[in-house]
């Protein structure tokens, strides 16, 4: 097990009717800026619950954070927050709204363009404190310090580290209005988050392996119930919310190496084509495993095959291949297409992506053995 330091300061308030507790965690004399996406919270009652909880507060609102939030919008919000002298930021939405708020809260008190903060990789503060009301289980942004921001001007998308939310309110009932596609996105994104902290090399931590496998098995098990929008089941939605948060709140990465190559390739696909984050991942992950699964990931692939997919028969090559097929079939069972051509992404995009990695000197993988040439092979194997 590698040495590590660990802290996660986010207070989680979980369960039915938990939005009513907002006034217990938001300081009474604060003047928050409430930040929303495109309006889903008006339809599902979340906005009304927030307004009811904040009846004794003076607050302002910003509407219109887009999916894959852009720095262009965030600049406008930062200006508004400075004008209104907001001393808290409240994110009310999915990962996009929360990620945007991480940059907003890092930018208000700092004399720096927000895109420079993103490009620096780490926001150093001072920060305006951040609280979240989560409406879409997927990214775990509600309990981590990460944020992913896009630039319309340059068609780029990069992660940076900001601050942890002070608190996040998670009411599984707010997921009831999510369309099937977004539920599938949340399940797939969470699954891939676990994979990218797990599927590296074995024998680093028995405990982290079992936790990661527990998350993967739970996500597989609940997926059909979560997607059955005609028979909504509170307990499945509650499990889903917990899986998504625990998949990327830092717990399962302690003491082990990670490989975020699928995410890094996926972010480029989204930046270049607008494909949804999770959809990019379900295309790239099987390709990554087809190329790397019999190389550095071989031993862990065999463990994954056995413990997650019950594959114990056949030689090593065929067990690894079966595990990749099962993974891709799982994503297809969620309703996704899993090849670039099916998503209308052509070889011109592949070439641009590979060229970007070559120019940036990007090196990926837990063994730092994936350069632009390996990425080129992965994309070719994702084609059709
Ligand atoms: O904008 P509104 O109207 O609210 O609608 C949203 C949006 O259209 C809708 N939605 C959210 N909650 C809903 C709802 N619709 C009905 N009922 C509800 N309860 O869902 C749509 C998608 O929302 P979005 O926030 O964009 O999705 P998600 O949570 O998947 O976030 C994606 C973003 O997070 C980044 C991704 O790159 C992408 O930009 N990620 C952030 C990470 C992090 N901070 O740690 C890690 C992830 O790997 C990921 O990269
Ligand atoms: Zn993700």
Instruction: Say what the pLDDT of residue 11 is.
Output: 98
Same domain? 250 vs 333: yes
CA distance 210 to 252: 9
- C-alpha closest to that of 195 among 105, 278, 114, 129: 278
Same domain? 124 vs 238: no
Does some domain include residue 3? no
CA distance 67 to 110: 25
Q: Count how many domains the chain has.
A: 2
Pick from 129, 154, 174: which residue ends a domain?
174
Same domain? 231 vs 358: yes
Q: Rounded to the nearest whole angstrom, what is the distance from the C-alpha of residue 281 to the centroid of ligand 1? A: 14
The pLDDT tens digits of the residues spanning 339-349 come to: 999 999 999 99
Instruction: Say what the pLDDT of residue 166 is.
Output: 98
Same domain? 21 vs 143: yes
| Phi and psi, residue 160, nearest 5° | -145, 165
Does some domain include residue 34? yes
CB 183 within 8 A of CB 229: yes
Indicate the top mutation candidate among 136, 149, 244 to test ligand 1's pocket, ranked by most ligand atoms within 8 A of CB: 136
Same domain? 205 vs 323: yes
Residues with a CB atom less than 6 Å from ligand 1: 37-41, 44, 67-68, 93-97, 99, 135-136, 138-141, 144, 146-148, 174-175, 177-178, 182, 185, 189, 248, 263, 277
Separation in Å, CA 309 to CA 113, 217, 252, 285: 47, 9, 20, 16
The pLDDT tens digits of the residues spanning 211-226 come to: 999 999 999 999 999 9
Same domain? 231 vs 338: yes
Assign residue 171 a region: left if phi > 0, alpha if psi is -120 to 50, beta otherwise? beta
For residue 159, which atom of ligand 1 is closest to its CA? 50
Instruction: Say what the pLDDT of residue 164 is.
Output: 98
Pick from 174, 205, 221: which residue ends a domain?
174
Does some domain include residue 1? no
Q: Which residue has the tokens 């991942």?
A: 281
CB 158 within 8 A of CB 117: no
The token pair that represents 219 in the structure block: 């996500």
The pLDDT tens digits of the residues spanning 254-307 come to: 999 999 999 999 999 999 999 999 999 999 999 999 999 999 999 999 999 999
For residue 38, which atom of ligand 1 is closest to its CA? 3
Pick from 143, 174, 205: which residue ends a domain?
174
Mind spelling out the 3-state secondary structure of the chain? CCCCCCCCCCEEEECCCHHHHHHHHCCCCCCEEEEECCCHHHHCCHHHHHHHHCCCCCCEEEECCCCCCEHHHHHHHHHHHHHHCCCEEEEEECHHHHHHHHHHHHHCCCCCCHHHHHHHCECCCCCCCEEEEECCCCCCHHHCCEEEEEECCCCEEEEEECCCCCEEEECHHHHHHCCHHHHHHHHHHHHHHHHHHHCCCCCCCHHHHHHHHHHHHHHHHHHHHHHCCCCCCHHHHHHHHHHHHHHCCCHHHCCCCCCCHHHHHHHHHHHHHCCCHHHHHHHHHHHHHHHHCCCCCHHHHHHHHHHHHCCCCCCHHHHHHHHHHHHHHHHHHCCCCCCCHHHCCCHHHHHHHHHHHHHHCCCECCCCCECHHHHHHHHHHCCC
Residue 93's domain comprises 11-174
Q: Rounded to the nearest whole angstrom, what is the distance from the C-alpha of residue 29 to the centroid of ligand 2? A: 36
Neighbours of 278 (CB within 10 A): 26
CB 123 within 8 A of CB 106: yes
Same domain? 156 vs 184: no
CATH code for the domain of 154: 3.40.50.1970
The token pair that represents 243 in the structure block: 């899986």
Same domain? 145 vs 48: yes
For residue 270, which atom of ligand 1 is closest to its CA? 37
pLDDT in tens, the chain (384 residues): 999 999 999 999 999 999 999 999 999 999 999 999 999 999 999 999 999 999 999 999 999 999 999 999 999 999 999 999 999 999 999 999 999 999 999 999 999 999 999 999 999 999 999 999 999 999 999 999 999 999 999 999 999 999 999 999 999 999 999 999 999 999 999 999 999 999 999 999 999 999 999 999 999 999 999 999 999 999 999 999 999 999 999 999 999 999 999 999 999 999 999 999 999 999 999 999 999 999 999 999 999 999 999 999 999 999 999 999 999 999 999 999 999 999 999 999 999 999 999 999 999 999 999 999 999 999 999 999
Q: Rounded to the nearest whole angstrom, what is the distance from the C-alpha of residue 137 to the centroid of ligand 1? A: 8
Give the closest residue (by CA) to ligand 1 atom 40.
Answer: 139
Does some domain include residue 329? yes
Same domain? 163 vs 186: no
Does some domain include residue 44? yes
Q: Pairing relation of β-strands 130-134 and 88-93? A: parallel
CATH code for the domain of 242: 1.20.1090.10
pTM exceeds 0.85 for this model: yes
Instruction: Say what the pLDDT of residue 361 is.
Output: 98
């Amino acid at each position: 097990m590698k040495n590590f330091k660990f802290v996660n300061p986010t207070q989680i308030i979980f369960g039915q009717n938990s939005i009513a507790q907002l006034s217990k965690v938001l300081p009474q004399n604060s003047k928050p800026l409430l930040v929303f996406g495109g309006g889903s919270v008006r339809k599902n009652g979340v906005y009304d619950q927030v307004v009811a909880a904040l009846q004794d507060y003076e607050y302002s609102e910003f509407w219109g954070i887009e999916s894959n939030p852009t720095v262009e919008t965030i600049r406008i919000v930062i200006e508004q927050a400075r004008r209104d002298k907001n001393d808290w930021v409240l994110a009310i939405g999915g990962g996009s709204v929360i990620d945007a708020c991480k940059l907003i809260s890092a930018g208000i008190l700092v004399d720096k363009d927000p895109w420079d903060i993103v490009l620096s990789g780490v926001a150093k503060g001072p920060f305006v404190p951040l609280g979240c009301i989560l409406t879409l289980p997927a990214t775990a942004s509600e309990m981590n310090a990460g944020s992913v921001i896009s630039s319309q001007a340059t068609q780029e998308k990069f992660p940076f580290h900001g601050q942890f939310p002070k608190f996040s309110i998670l009411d599984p009932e707010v997921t009831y209005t999510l369309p099937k596609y977004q539920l599938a996105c949340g399940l797939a994104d969470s699954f891939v988050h676990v994979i990218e902290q797990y599927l590296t090399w074995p024998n680093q931590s028995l405990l982290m392996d079992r936790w990661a496998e527990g998350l993967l098995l739970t996500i597989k098990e609940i997926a059909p119930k979560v997607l059955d929008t005609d028979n909504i089941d509170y307990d499945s939605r509650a499990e889903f919310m917990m899986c998504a948060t625990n998949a990327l709140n830092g717990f399962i990465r302690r003491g082990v190496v990670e490989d975020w190559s699928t995410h890094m390739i996926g972010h480029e696909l989204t930046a270049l084509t607008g494909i949804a984050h999770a959809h990019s991942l379900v295309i790239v992950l099987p390709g990554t495993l087809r190329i790397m699964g019999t190389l550095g990931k071989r031993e862990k692939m065999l463990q994954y095959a056995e413990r997650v997919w019950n594959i114990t028969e056949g030689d090593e090559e065929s067990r690894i291949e079966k595990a990749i097929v099962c993974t891709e079939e799982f994503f297809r069972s969620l309703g996704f297409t899993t090849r670039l051509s099916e998503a209308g992404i052509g070889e011109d995009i592949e070439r641009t992506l590979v060229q970007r990695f070559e120019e940036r000197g990007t090196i990926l993988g837990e063994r730092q053995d994936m350069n632009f040439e390996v990425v080129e092979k992965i994309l070719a194997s994702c084609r059709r």
